[in-house]
Each structure stands twice: as structure tokens, then as C-alpha cells.
Amino acid sequence: MGEILALVEARLLTALGEPDARASVTFLGADRIEVLRFVDGDVVRYATLGMSAQPMTDPTASVVDPSKGPRAELLLSVRAGLADTDKVLRPLAVLAASPQVEGVIVAPGASLDVGGPLWPGAPFGSVLVAEPGRLVGDLELDGPVPRGDGDAAAATDPVRFLPLLPMTPNEAAWKRVHGAQELQERWLARGTDLRDPLRASVSLD
């Protein structure tokens, strides 16, 4: 686990530079989750570190291989200085811990609800998981990862770095009806600045 997280952190630093801050959160029944903050001009990026330590598994599966399954970390990019976005650290850690705590598989197209504003005064209470690869490329894990039951090692999935796109309640409701692709096309057509921490909901008429 430690070796995987060291590789994940190295990939984040290669893609985003040195973090200017980091915090850690521990949840009952889950490994520690760290959140790293990177500043890139007028954009601040938050990246989780720890979610990928364990593969995500289907909670309904009758047989679970503890060495196989998708691995991921979460990325959130917002414009700096417009809101107290550093308070997003705990909600991000909660989302990153959800595969371990709740058996959730986080994948592109999914909606994740944080149960409240992403940060104080935020018009967003949920996020859309976007396709990875544009900001931080997938991390292929060379060689097998030992199984947790002592059996022979097994190949493991790459670590994917999943961008999170904040959604207003209206957008989240619209996405449930029309789907993730339709919402993203609506954002694109309206020229929505998805990094604006104070933006209003896109027109859904």
C-alpha cells in the first residue's frame, strides 16, 4: 500500500508541481486520506492521496478479490481567491473514503453528494465525476500486487485521477434525468466556467 501511494504522489508532483499545503483526515474503518493543494497561477487544485491504496470493489459481489478492482484519486480545480475553498478538504476526504466506508465504486459519469456545501457559501452540494487523463495521466502499476489472503500475487488496475466538476442542486437534478453527457454538453454550449467557485447554475431550459 505504501509503495502504491508513493508512486501516486510522485505522479501528482510530476504533473502539478510541489504542493503548497497538505492535510490528512482519518475515518473509522478506513485508511488515512490526505488532500494536497497545488497553486497554478489563479487556479488552485486539490488532489486526494490515499483513495488508491485499496482497489474499489462491488459490494454486491459474492466473491471479492482483494487485489483487483479499479483504483482512483480525486482532483478538484477552482479559481483562487474568490471563496474559502480550502474548507473543501474534508468533503473531498469523505468522498475519497467512500469506497472503503460505503462500498462505492467511483467512476466517470457518477454523481457524488457531500451532504452540504462543498465549502462555506458554496452553491454546490455535489460533484460530477469526469473522464480522467487530461490533467494527470493514468498511473500504470508495474508488476503484480500481493493478494491480501497470502495467495499468489495478481495484476492490478492502473490508478486513474478523476476530475470532479461541482454541480448546483438544479444541475444535479437535471443530470439525473438527462445524464452526465447531456449536462456536460450544456455546460460547453453555454461557455460555463466550471472552475468559478461562485458561478450560478447553467440555463437548463
Query: pTM here?
Result: 0.89
Interval 173-196: pLDDT, tens: 999 999 999 999 999 999 999 999
pLDDT-above-70 percentage for the chain: 88
116 HSE (CA, 13 A, CB side): 9
Q: pLDDT at residue 61 above 90?
A: no
Name the region of 154 (left: φ>0; alpha: ψ -120 to 50; beta: rest).
beta
Reported as a single tens digit per residue, the pLDDT across 89-141 is: 999 999 999 998 888 899 999 999 998 999 999 999 999 999 998 899 999 98
Cell of residue 88, nine digits = 473543501
Which residue in the block uniquely carries the three cell numbers 473509522?
Answer: 28
Cell matching residue 41: 497561477
Please state, in angstroms and rounded to a whole number, the distance separating the CA atoms of residues 81 and 63.
48
How far apart (Å, rounded) are the C-alpha atoms in residues 61 and 110? 20
